[in-house]
Amino acid sequence: MDKVALELKNVSFTYPGAEVPVLQEVSFSLKKGDFVAVIGSNGSGKSTLCKCFNGLIPHYYTGDFEGEVMLLGESAEGKSVSELSRHIGYVYQDFENQLVRPTVMDDVCFTPLNYGLLDYRERGMRALELTGLHGMGREFIWQLSGGQKHLLALAGALAMDPDILVIDEPVAQLDPQHARQIYDILRRLNEQHGKTVVVIEHHAEFIAEYCRTVVLMDAGRLRWQKPVREALSSVDELLSLSIYPPDVTRAAWLLQPDRQTAAVYPLSSEEGQRCFTRRLSLSDIQETLAQPQIKDLHSTPSEVKPVVEMEHIRLSYRTIHKTLHPVLNGISLELFSGERVALIGNNGAGKSSLMKLIAGITAPTGGTVKVKGITVNGLPPERLAGIASYVFQNPEDMFIDDSVRGEIAYYLKARGLKDKDERVEAMLEAFRLQELAGRDARLLSGGQQRRVSLAIGAAVRPVVMLLDEPTANLDISTKQEMTRVLQALRGHVETVVIATHDMALVAEWASRIIVMSEGRILADGNKEEIFSDGQLLRRAGLAETQLMEMSRLLELPQICCSLEEFVARSEWRKEELVHGGSR
């Protein structure tokens, strides 16, 4: 256990042309068989650090490099990326671009074949086996789902049977079920096959559950390397770097009477159950929880005319095998003005398809879709814009101009609207983009790109705005910011629909939740109705947030959606102490 797999000694690196080094005197040693999470805010040098492992830095990215890298006890100096990559498998954050062959089998064999290993087929098969992709060897890569592609990228790295696996944000694009699946695989690789695993990860809950050691990067420096419990219990420090420990941990930190002591906090719901208890004196909560009761609009449809009407909608796609693949099976739905609708369900449940139907981008195979009484199916896209606007999951697909201002103004200019300048300014202000107005949207950070894409959608002043996974690929602090940005949409749009599997977002934002699975609507209701039914979420392939789980476990009167709410409703169980030490 104590053998060192990889060691960095005083490594500094500066990208060519850059003033400030991205890595400053980083020393770090990776123990064999460890499961490490690298955390840090955006731009802290996490990815750069990991690219030092296999020599991409300094061989591929040439720049000023100082220090020494030792791999398995040997100096990496003078070794090429190819040589080092035999021992280190790397899975990129945009893993799709690392799949370079047309079929699954070819791709997984690609690396061992390149190294001239005679048993490349067996290696490929074994890697597919390990990742649960066996039997898919003949599939074309574009036929795979996002989760399967990620598994394939992992399999491609595993085929070399590397000692070290580096995975950059393994779950960023996955729904909770698939995310868990990939982590379970990583754990198996770590525990049963002795692989050293390094992940760059934002999701503290996964770190808490799966990792053993945490490395914190801050502004190019390695601040510390600690066992996971100790690491995540440094709530103050992490929050100051916009890194969010698990909700349970934060709740404990908030409720712990004595914060000064170097305490360790609970990390998971089960541990939390032992530490918290239901707050009995409810009198003082009443005012803190004086939330405005949202009027349940869909219970009184007779009064209001719906904004969106869908009746018995069916949708199937033609596949290249000339067969029909059903996506939506008879959906009837009415959406009303002022609603904040969350469409939830796992990947492939039909959420995006449903939204594309409302936006008129795809036409249903059967049934009609009406928005404000206008039948949208069959309209050319140019006519749809003022009615519904659809914000793609990948913001880059929406960027067609060369500046943020240009992106927002494009629609207004095309229509020659008189008030276009004011409208653009208003949007820039509402989404806090004034300072970025002249920049190219493609070069912005993930969160900024999202804001631009929302501003583009809102500038149209549509009746309905449809957002596909607005928080995908964002780190937690940016996610929290998104929730606030979404509030900015009010006043510009009548109805907002979000397709997501980010339960925290749903819990904080939505007024109505529609659960979808396999092209059908499983449930439709408000937060309480949906979240109190734990089975329902699981059936839809979704996971509860920690707070929801805790609320259930502590038998709180209501499922809590925000940390504040939870803290108000529960208290610290004094007699219980957390057992310290790493797991």
Partner 1 sequence: MSTLKTRYTLTQSQKMMIFVLSMSLYGLSNMFTELIPSVQLGPVELSVEYFAFIPLTLCMLFHPLYAAVGAAVGEVIFGELMLGQFGGLGELEKFITFSLAMYIAGRMVSDPKNRRQVGIAAISGVAIHQFCSSVIDIVKVWVGVEELEAVKGLAESIVIIEGVGFLNDVLFSGILFALLPTMYLVPRLYGKIEPLLGMKPRERNMQYASGGGNRLSPKLLGGGIVLALVALGAELLSESGWSIGEFELPGAESHEASLIWVSMLAAALIAALAIVFTLRRASRRRQEAGQLDG
Partner 2 sequence: MVEAVKRALNRISVEQIKLELLGTAYNSSSTFLGRLDPRMLLIWYLFFAVTPWFVYNRTILLGMFVFMVVTTVLSRVSPYIVFILCLGLVSQIGWMFLLSLFFGGGAESLLPMLTLTLKLSVISLASITVFSSLDPERLSDGLSALGVPDAFAFSLSYGYRILPTLLEEFHQILLSFRLRGQRPLKHGFLYMRTAAYYLRILVLVFYPLMLNTAKRSRTTVEALETRGYTYAVNNPQVKKLRLSYLVMQRRDWLFAAFSAVYVGLLFPLGTVFPNLIY
Residue 520 in 3-state DSSP?
Answer: strand
For residue 284, state whether it binds partner 2 (rule: CB under 8 A).
no
Instruction: For the CB of residue 570, give the shortest distance to partner 2 in the complex, in Å.
Output: 45
For residue 108, state whether it binds partner 2 (rule: CB under 8 A).
no
Instruction: For the CB of residue 418, give the shortest distance to partner 2 in the complex, in Å.
Output: 15
> Which of these segments, 232-240, 341-349, 375-383, 424-432, binds partner 2 (CB under 8 A)?
375-383
Q: Which entry of partner 2, partner 1, none binds 390, CB below 5 to 8 A by partner kind?
A: partner 2
Q: How far apart are CA 283 and CA 568, in angstroms?
A: 11
Comparing CA positions, the residue from 459, 479, 469 lying closest to residue 392 is: 469
Q: How many Cα atoms within 13 Å fall on the side-chain side of residue 364?
A: 25
For residue 156, state whether it binds partner 2 (rule: CB under 8 A).
yes
Instruction: For the CB of residue 398, give the shortest distance to partner 2 in the complex, in Å.
Output: 5
Q: What are phi and psi of 393, to 5 degrees?
A: -65, -40
> Which of these segments, 305-313, 327-335, 366-374, 408-416, binds partner 2 (CB under 8 A)?
408-416
Instruction: For the CB of residue 22, give the shortest distance to partner 1 in the complex, in Å.
Output: 14
Residue 81 in 3-state DSSP?
Answer: helix
60 vs 142 by CB, closer to partner 1: 60
Q: Which of 415, 484, 490, 583 binds partner 2 (CB under 8 A)?
A: 415
Q: Which entry of partner 2, partner 1, none binds 16, CB below 5 to 8 A by partner kind?
A: partner 1
Beta strands 520-525 and 4-14, pairing class = unpaired
Question: Which residues contribute to the site for partner 1 (CB under 8 A)?
Answer: 16-17, 60-62, 402, 440, 442-443
Strand partners, 521: 516
Burial 562-580 (b: 16+ CB within 10 A, else e): ebebbbbbbbbeeeeebee
The CA-to-CA distance between both ends of the chain, in Å, stands at 14
For residue 411, state whether it binds partner 2 (rule: CB under 8 A).
yes
CB 30 within 8 A of CB 190: no
142 vs 224 by CB, closer to partner 2: 142
> Segment 311-330, which members bind partner 2 (CB under 8 A)?
318-322
> Which of these segments, 264-272, 308-316, 394-402, 497-505, binds partner 2 (CB under 8 A)?
394-402
Cα 96 to Cα 99, 147, 235: the distances in Å are: 6, 10, 34
CA torsion 499→502→506→507, rounded to 10°? 170
> Segment 110-149, which members bind partner 2 (CB under 8 A)?
110-111, 113-116, 118, 120, 140-142
Helices (H), 460-539: 476-487, 503-509, 527-531, 534-539
> Segment 27-86, which members bind partner 2 (CB under 8 A)?
54, 56, 60, 80-83, 85-86
62 vs 319 by CB, closer to partner 1: 62
**Angle at Cα 231 formed by Cα 35 and Cα 559, nearest 5°?**
100
Instruction: For the CB of residue 16, give the shortest distance to partner 1 in the complex, in Å.
Output: 6
Q: Which entry of partner 2, partner 1, none binds 110, CB below 5 to 8 A by partner kind?
A: partner 2
Q: Which entry of partner 1, partner 2, none binds 62, CB below 5 to 8 A by partner kind?
A: partner 1
Q: Which of 42, 103, 256, 526 binds partner 2 (CB under 8 A)?
A: 103
Q: Which entry of partner 1, partner 2, none binds 103, CB below 5 to 8 A by partner kind?
A: partner 2
Comparing CA positions, the residue from 350, 265, 42, 328 lying closest to residue 172 is: 42
Q: How far apart are CA 313 and CA 357, in angstroms?
A: 9
319 vs 487 by CB, closer to partner 2: 319
Q: How many residues in the shown chain lie near partner 2 by CB under 8 A?
A: 63
Tell me the three-class secondary structure of 104-145, residue by residue: HHHHHHHHHHHCCCCCHHHHHHHHHHHHCCCCCCCCEHHHCC
Q: Which entry of partner 2, partner 1, none binds 382, CB below 5 to 8 A by partner kind?
A: partner 2
Pull the structure tokens for residue 470. Answer: 């607005």
For residue 379, state whether it binds partner 2 (rule: CB under 8 A).
no
Q: Give Cα 204 to chain centroid, integer Å.
A: 12
Q: Which entry of partner 2, partner 1, none binds 106, CB below 5 to 8 A by partner kind?
A: partner 2
Pull the structure tokens for residue 479. Answer: 């996610």
Q: How far apart are CA 142 and CA 218, in angstroms?
A: 38
**Angle at Cα 549 formed by Cα 478 and Cα 276, nearest 5°?**
100
Cis preceding linkage at 16, omega within 30: no
282 vs 400 by CB, closer to partner 2: 400
Instruction: For the CB of residue 374, give the shortest distance to partner 2 in the complex, in Å.
Output: 16
82 vs 319 by CB, closer to partner 1: 82
> Which of these segments, 63-71, 108-116, 280-288, 303-311, binds partner 2 (CB under 8 A)?
108-116
Beta strands 88-91 and 164-168, pairing class = parallel
Comparing CA positions, the residue from 82, 76, 93 lying closest to residue 38 is: 93
31 vs 59 by CB, closer to partner 1: 59
304 vs 400 by CB, closer to partner 1: 400
> Taking CB under 8 A as the rule, which mask of x and - marks residues 451-470 in contact with partner 2?
-----x---x----------
Q: Which entry of partner 1, partner 2, none binds 17, CB below 5 to 8 A by partner kind?
A: partner 1
Strand partners, 13: 23, 65
Task: Give residues in contact with partner 2 (CB under 8 A).
Answer: 54, 56, 60, 80-83, 85-86, 88, 90, 92, 94, 96-103, 106-107, 110-111, 113-116, 118, 120, 140-142, 156, 318-322, 361, 380-382, 384-385, 389-390, 392, 394, 396-400, 402, 410-411, 414-415, 442, 456, 460
